[in-house]
Amino acid sequence: MPLITVTMRPGKSAAYKTQVLGAVHSALVASGVPDTDRFHRVLELGPDDFRFDPSYPDLAKPRSEDFVLIEILLSVGRSVKIKKKILADLIAGTSKAGLHPDDVFVVFKETTWENWAFGGGRQIHV
């Protein structure tokens, strides 16, 4: 049950957002997440509310105004190998959407199953 948050600057088209979210979702599905497990949100924040260093940590190309922060909240248990595969697939997909790899920052946040209630206060896998 991943929950995806993509933070970006305002002004991108709905089609662009769909491409970026699709790239993230496809990478997760390839790792075993069900295709119907789709909970995504896009936050659009201007320069006053979304600040980032253009080159940390020693990027070959400075980040542009196309920079996106992708946060993936998911249940614990995925290995480093699986996360690396998700990252590789995600970068390939966002590149097809026109994003330079250095403009994509990904954070995995893990939580245990008892922290999820999918509807009606019901917890599953607990």
Instruction: Please report whether residue 126 resides in a domain.
Output: no
* 111: helix, strand or coil: strand
Q: How many CA atoms lie within 13 A of 92 on its CB side?
A: 11
Tokens of 44: 């659009």
pTM of the predicted protein model = 0.94
**64 part of a folded domain:** yes
- Are 55 and 63 in contact by the 8 Å Cβ rule? The answer is yes
Looking at the structure of the chain, the number of domains it has is 1
Structure confidence at residue 84 as a pLDDT band (50, 70, 90): very high
Where residue 84 sits, what CATH number does that domain have? 3.30.429.10
Whole-angstrom distance, CA of residue 5 vs CA of residue 54: 21
DSSP element (H, E) containing 71 = strand 68-75
pLDDT tens digit string along 32-58? Answer: 999 999 999 999 999 999 999 999 999
- Cα dihedral 63, 90, 70, 45, rounded to 10, equals 60
| Structural domain span for residue 34 | 3-115
Residue 21 lies in a domain: yes
Torsion angle of C-alpha atoms 5, 9, 14, 20, degrees rounded to 10: -50
The answer to whether 68 and 12 are in contact (CB under 8 A) is no
Residue 124 lies in a domain: no
The model's pLDDT over 101-115, given as tens digits with 9 standing for 90+, comes to 999 999 999 999 888
Q: What is the Cα–Cα distance from 88 to 108, expressed in whole angstroms?
A: 14
